[in-house]
Amino acid sequence: MCGIVGYIGPRKILPVLIGGLKKLEYRGYDSAGVAYLENGKLNILKEEGKLAALEEKCIGIETENTIGIGHTRWATHGAPSRVNSHPHTNEAGTIALVHNGIIENYAKIKEWLEKKGVKFVSETDTEVAAHLINHFYFGDLRAAVANAIEMIEGSYAFAVVSSEEPDTIVAVRKDSPLIVGKADGESILASDIPALLEYTRDVYFLNDNEIVEMKRGSINFYDEYGTKLRKEITRIDWDVSQAEKGGYEHFMIKEIYEQPRALQDTFSPRLIDGKIDISEMGMDEDFIRNLPKITIVACGSASHVAHVGKYIIERVAKIPVEVDIASEFRYRKPLLLPDQLVMVISQSGETADTIAALREAKDNGVKVAAVVNVIGSTIAREADAAFYTHAGMEIAVATTKAYDTQLLSMYMLAYAMAHVRGTITEEEYNEAVRELTLLPEKAENVLELCEQIQHIAYERFMDEDTFFIGRGLDYALAMEASLKLKEISYIHAEAYAAGELKHGTIALIEKNTLVVAIATQKDLIEKTISNIKEVKARGAHVICLTMEKYLSEFKDQDSVDEFILIPDMMDMMAPIIGVIPMQMLAYYITLDKGFDVDKPRNLAKSVTVE
Ligand code: G6P
Model pLDDT for residues 318-355, shown as the tens digit of each residue: 999 999 999 999 888 889 999 999 999 999 999 999 99
Q: Compute, in angstroms, the gap from residue 269 CA to the centroid of ligand 1.
A: 25
DSSP conformation letters of 7-72:
EESSS-HHHHHHHHHHHHGGG--SEEEEEEEETTEEEEEEEES-HHHHHHHHTT------EEEEEE
Contacts of 77 by beta carbon, 8 Å cutoff, 6+ apart: 84, 102, 106, 123, 124, 125, 126
pLDDT (0 to 100) of residue 1: 66
- Statement: residue 105 has pLDDT above 80: yes
Residue 238 phi/psi, 5-degree rounding, is -75, 155
Higher pLDDT, 333 or 420: 420
Among 596, 428, 610, residue whose Cα is nearest residue 25 = 596
Residue 572 phi/psi, 5-degree rounding, is -55, -30
As a whole-number percent, the residues of the chain with pLDDT over 90 amount to 81
Give the span between the Cα atoms of 433 and 425, in whole angstroms.
Answer: 12
Beta bridge partners, 155, equal: 102
pLDDT (0 to 100) of residue 24: 87
As a whole-number percent, the residues of the chain with pLDDT over 70 amount to 99
DSSP conformation letters of 85-147:
SSPEE-TTS-EEEEEEEEETTHHHHHHHHHHTTPPP-SS-SHHHHHHHHHHT-SS-HHHHHHH
Q: Compute, in angstroms, the gap from residue 605 CA to the centroid of ligand 1.
A: 6
Angle between helices 450-460 and 574-593 (to 10 degrees): 50
With left for phi above 0 and alpha for psi between -120 and 50, is residue 439 left, alpha or beta? Answer: alpha
Give pLDDT tens digits for 182-227: 999 999 999 988 899 999 999 999 999 999 999 998 999 999 899 9
pLDDT (0 to 100) of residue 333: 87
DSSP conformation letters of 541-574:
EEEEEEEGGGGGGGTT----SEEEEEPP--GGGH
Question: Which atom of ligand 1 lies nearest, measured to the CA of 300?
Answer: 10
DSSP conformation letters of 176-207:
S--EEEEETTEEEEESSGGGTTTT-SEEEEPP
DSSP SS3 for 173: strand
Which residue's CA is minimally distant from atom 3 of ligand 1? 300
One-letter amino acid for residue 261 of the chain: R
Average pLDDT, the chain: 93
Distances (CA, A) of 379 to 170, 212, 340, 556: 24, 21, 19, 52
One-letter amino acid for residue 338 of the chain: P
Distances (CA, A) of 353 to 97, 220, 305, 383: 26, 30, 17, 14
- Statement: residue 281 has pLDDT above 80: yes
Sign of the four-CA dihedral 480, 483, 486, 487: negative
What's the predicted TM-score (pTM) here?
0.83
DSSP SS3 for 467: strand
pLDDT (0 to 100) of residue 339: 95
- Indicate if ligand 1 lies below 6 Å from the C-beta of 358: no
Among 29, 39, 43, residue whose Cα is nearest residue 1 = 29
pLDDT (0 to 100) of residue 569: 97
Q: Compute, in angstroms, the gap from residue 607 CA to the centroid of ligand 1.
A: 7
Catalytic residue of the set 2, 46, 299, 442? 2
Higher pLDDT, 152 or 58: 152
Q: Do residues 383 and 343 touch, judged by C-beta distance below 8 A?
A: no
Say which range, 80-89, 182-191, 388-397, has the weakest mean pLDDT. Answer: 80-89
- Indicate if ligand 1 lies below 6 Å from the C-beta of 607: yes
One-letter amino acid for residue 136 of the chain: F
- Indicate if ligand 1 lies below 6 Å from the C-beta of 300: yes
β 67-73/3-8 pair status: antiparallel
Q: Across residues 551-572, what is the average pLDDT?
A: 91
Give pLDDT tens digits for 346-382: 999 999 999 999 999 999 999 999 999 998 899 999 9
Measured at the CA of 277, the angle between CA 293 and CA 266, to 5 degrees, comes to 100
Mutate which of 607, 608, 609, 610 to test ligand 1's pocket (most atoms within 8 Å of Cβ)? 607
Q: Compute, in angstroms, the gap from residue 606 CA to the centroid of ligand 1.
A: 6
pLDDT confidence band for 550 (50 / 70 / 90)? very high
pLDDT (0 to 100) of residue 556: 67
Measured at the CA of 508, the angle between CA 502 and CA 511, to 5 degrees, comes to 110
Higher pLDDT, 302 or 241: 302
Give the span between the Cα atoms of 395 and 280, in whole angstroms.
Answer: 26
> Do you know the residue count of the chain?
610
DSSP SS3 for 461: coil
Q: Do residues 3 and 33 touch, judged by C-beta distance below 8 A?
A: no
**Neighbour-count burial of 2, counting CB atoms closer than 10 A to its CB (0-12 exposed, 13-18 middle, 19+ buried):** buried
DSSP SS3 for 162: strand
Q: Across residues 391-415, what is the average pLDDT?
A: 96
β 341-346/367-372 pair status: parallel
Distances (CA, A) of 68 to 5, 160, 249, 258: 8, 9, 32, 36
Contacts of 504 by beta carbon, 8 Å cutoff, 6+ apart: none
Question: Which atom of ligand 1 lies nearest, measured to the CA of 354?
Answer: 15
- Statement: residue 468 has pLDDT above 70: yes
Give the span between the Cα atoms of 131 and 113, in whole angstroms.
Answer: 8
Give pLDDT tens digits for 155-176: 999 999 999 999 999 999 998 8
One-letter amino acid for residue 548 of the chain: E
Which residue's CA is minimally distant from atom 8 of ligand 1? 605
Question: Which atom of ligand 1 lies nearest, measured to the CA of 299?
Answer: 6
Angle between helices 13-24 and 51-58 (to 10 degrees): 170
- Indicate if ligand 1 lies below 6 Å from the C-beta of 302: yes
pLDDT confidence band for 572 (50 / 70 / 90)? very high
Residue 415 phi/psi, 5-degree rounding, is -70, -35
- Statement: residue 527 has pLDDT above 80: yes
User: What kind and span of H or E run contains 389?
Assistant: none
605 has catalytic annotation: yes
